[in-house]
């Protein structure tokens, strides 16, 4: 594959768009209480602003990645930016709760179109020797977006209320659209695209919604309604699997998972994001209970995200000289230390203890990121890069949804919290060991 004449212009355009999603995730999540007060609604209701965003991102990304493979990644990428722009304006202009939920759902839909197709364009635009470095730069920029979100959100709330958090997206998206028109490569479309797998898309989306609804809140025991949702989710998963085996152009090409490197890297991504999101959600709640000031909590979260961002870039550099699978195992070994730190946090909360713990947590969340992503992308043919990116993103968001859904258990049931963390960590170490035993061979990349 020939390198583009101006690869860093392409990289800049992809970064400008990719930074939107983590920025909006953390920017609004830290200001839920002011939103609830200004709209005279309950905090438990406003939490759905975050939950619906995660569910739609998880459900739509494999679909949008597949559509990008069929109809052009740049086309889907631009559509996602326009949707994000439209619903950002709606959220800013109509300050009521239903409009806020609709705006966040629209933003999630736009973001779900942007991310996998941005990764697919990166896979198409850069040679393998520069792909890891450029993915590391995108990952670092996304981490900086996540780190900046809480601080930027608090400033915007002070200056213009929560609608200002929607307005700030307009210049970013406008710049990304101009850059896309000028520097991004044109799509190489198939002469005749097969029909869209609508039933597969709907069954996958339904499964992810029911999966999120079935997660327990205050204990591991399920109520009747949650048990019903869990059974329905399992039925939809079985239907989805059967449909994907028999359609011409499946949303998720299931034979991808026969390749061990693809399967294990996606599972490692899920576990890694579970730990990352657990830190982002659990630590602030504990520190609030310990009477830490909000600026101090925001500063600590900024430090954690900054370390994660820098370590993600460092991992991309190390993956050139070290086996990527060892970086993934290192990530889970660091998470083992973080698990012990979690348990000591309520009683040991000096500043050195907090900084050291968040330093290790950030390193664990970031060091294996690019390794996981490049293993997934190199396991498939170039023509399926969008589909692979969408699947990877969905596994990532399943980890986020799991952590968010189990937050109440983490806070109110410390013993159960420890068991969950150790079980998840054990699963992650088993996955990383399986990756060490598997062979990552780009020459055997799979294609639908």
Q: Is 334 contained in some domain?
A: yes
Q: Region 428-439: what's the mean pLDDT?
A: 82
pLDDT band per the 50, 70, 90 thresholds, residue 190: low
Q: Are residues 440 and 291 in the same domain?
A: yes
Rounded CA gap, 36 and 361, in Å? 30
Q: Are residues 312 and 342 in the same domain?
A: yes
Q: Say whether pLDDT at 2 is over 50.
A: no
Q: Are residues 46 and 103 in the same domain?
A: yes
Q: Domain ends where: 185, 217, 235? A: 185
- Specify the pLDDT at position 174: 92
Q: What is the pLDDT of residues 105-134, one digit of tens each?
A: 999 999 999 988 888 888 777 776 677 778
Which alpha helices (H) appear in 184-223, and where do they start and end?
198-214
Q: Domain ends where: 155, 185, 215? A: 185
Q: Are residues 23 and 149 in the same domain?
A: yes
Q: Is 190 contained in some domain?
A: no
Higher pLDDT pick, 149 / 314: 314
Q: What is the pLDDT of residues 198-231, one digit of tens each?
A: 788 788 878 877 887 777 654 444 567 778 888 8
Smallest Cα–Cα separation from 194: which of 290, 69, 92, 372?
69
If you write DSSP's letter for every residue of 168-200 in order, what string do you get?
THHHHHHHHHHHHHHHSPPP---SSPPPP-HHH
Q: How many CA atoms lie within 13 A of 424 on its CB side?
A: 24
- Specify the pLDDT at position 192: 59
- Specify the pLDDT at position 357: 93
Burial of 135 (0-12, 13-18, 19+ CB in 10 A): buried
Rounded CA gap, 108 and 57, in Å? 5
Q: Are residues 176 and 211 in the same domain?
A: no
Q: Are residues 165 and 282 in the same domain?
A: no
**Around Cβ 373, how many Cβ atoms within 10 Å?**
31
Looking up tokens 């520097």, which residue turns up?
183
Q: Residue 307: which domain range?
A: 255-448
State phi, psi for 446 to the nearest 5 degrees: -90, 150
Q: Is 85 contained in some domain?
A: yes
Q: Are residues 262 and 231 in the same domain?
A: no
Q: Is 151 contained in some domain?
A: yes
Q: Region 336-354: what's the mean pLDDT?
A: 87
Q: 3-state DSSP call for residue 248? A: coil
Q: Which of 202-206, 235-239, 274-278, 329-333 has the lowest mean pLDDT?
A: 202-206
pTM higher than 0.85, yes or no?
no
Q: Is 202 contained in some domain?
A: yes
Q: Are residues 215 and 267 in the same domain?
A: no
Q: Name the maximum alpha-carbon separation found in the chain.
A: 64
- Specify the pLDDT at position 447: 54
Rounded CA gap, 23 and 144, in Å? 8
Q: Are residues 144 and 201 in the same domain?
A: no
Number of domains in the chain: 3
Q: If you average pLDDT over every residue of the chain, what do you get?
A: 81
Q: Are residues 264 and 141 in the same domain?
A: no
Instruction: Give me the CATH number covering residue 171.
Output: 1.20.1250.20
Which alpha helices (H) appear in 351-413, and where do they start and end?
351-366, 369-378, 385-405, 407-412
């Amino acid at each position: 594959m020939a390198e583009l004449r101006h690869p860093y212009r392409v990289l800049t355009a992809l970064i400008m768009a990719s930074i939107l999603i983590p920025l909006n995730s953390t920017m609004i999540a830290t200001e839920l209480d002011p939103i609830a007060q200004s709209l005279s609604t309950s905090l438990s209701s406003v939490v759905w602003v975050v939950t619906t965003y995660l569910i739609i991102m998880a459900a739509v990304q494999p679909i949008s990645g597949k559509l990008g493979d069929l109809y052009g990644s740049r086309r889907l990428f631009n559509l996602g930016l326009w949707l994000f722009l439209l619903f950002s304006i709606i959220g800013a202009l109509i300050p009521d709760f239903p409009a806020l939920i609709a705006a966040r759902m629209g933003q999630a839909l736009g973001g779900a179109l942007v991310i996998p197709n941005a990764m697919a364009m990166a896979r198409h635009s850069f040679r393998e020797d520069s792909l890891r470095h450029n993915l590391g730069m995108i990952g670092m920029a996304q981490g900086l977006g996540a780190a900046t979100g809480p601080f930027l959100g608090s400033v915007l709330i002070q200056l213009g209320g929560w609608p200002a958090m929607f307005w700030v997206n307009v210049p970013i998206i406008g710049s990304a659209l101009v850059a896309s028109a000028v520097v991004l490569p044109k799509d190489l479309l198939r002469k005749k695209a097969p029909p869209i797998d609508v039933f597969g898309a709907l069954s996958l989306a339904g499964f992810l919604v029911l999966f999120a609804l079935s997660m327990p809140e205050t204990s591991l025991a399920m109520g009747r309604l949650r048990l019903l949702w869990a059974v329905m989710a399992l039925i939809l998963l079985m239907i989805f699997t059967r449909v994907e085996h028999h359609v011409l152009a499946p949303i998720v090409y299931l034979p991808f998972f026969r390749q061990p490197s693809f399967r294990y890297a996606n599972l490692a991504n899920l576990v890694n994001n579970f730990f990352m999101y657990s830190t982002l959600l659990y630590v602030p709640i504990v520190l609030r209970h310990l009477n830490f000031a909000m600026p101090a909590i925001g500063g600590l979260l900024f430090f954690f995200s900054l370390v994660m961002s820098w370590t993600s870039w460092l991992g991309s550099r190390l993956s050139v000289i070290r086996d990527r699978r060892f970086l993934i195992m290192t990530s889970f070994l660091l998470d083992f230390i973080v698990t012990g730190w979690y348990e000591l946090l309520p009683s040991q909360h000096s500043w050195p203890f907090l900084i050291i713990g968040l330093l290790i947590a950030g390193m664990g969340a970031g060091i294996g990121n690019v390794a996981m992503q490049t293993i997934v992308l190199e396991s498939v043919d170039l023509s399926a890069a969008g589909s692979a990116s969408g699947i990877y993103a969905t596994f990532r968001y399943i980890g986020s949804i799991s952590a968010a859904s189990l937050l109440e258990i983490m806070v109110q049931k410390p013993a159960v919290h420890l068991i969950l963390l150790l079980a998840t960590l054990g699963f992650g170490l088993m996955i990383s060991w399986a990756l060490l035993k598997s062979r990552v061979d780009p020459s055997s990349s799979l294609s639908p």
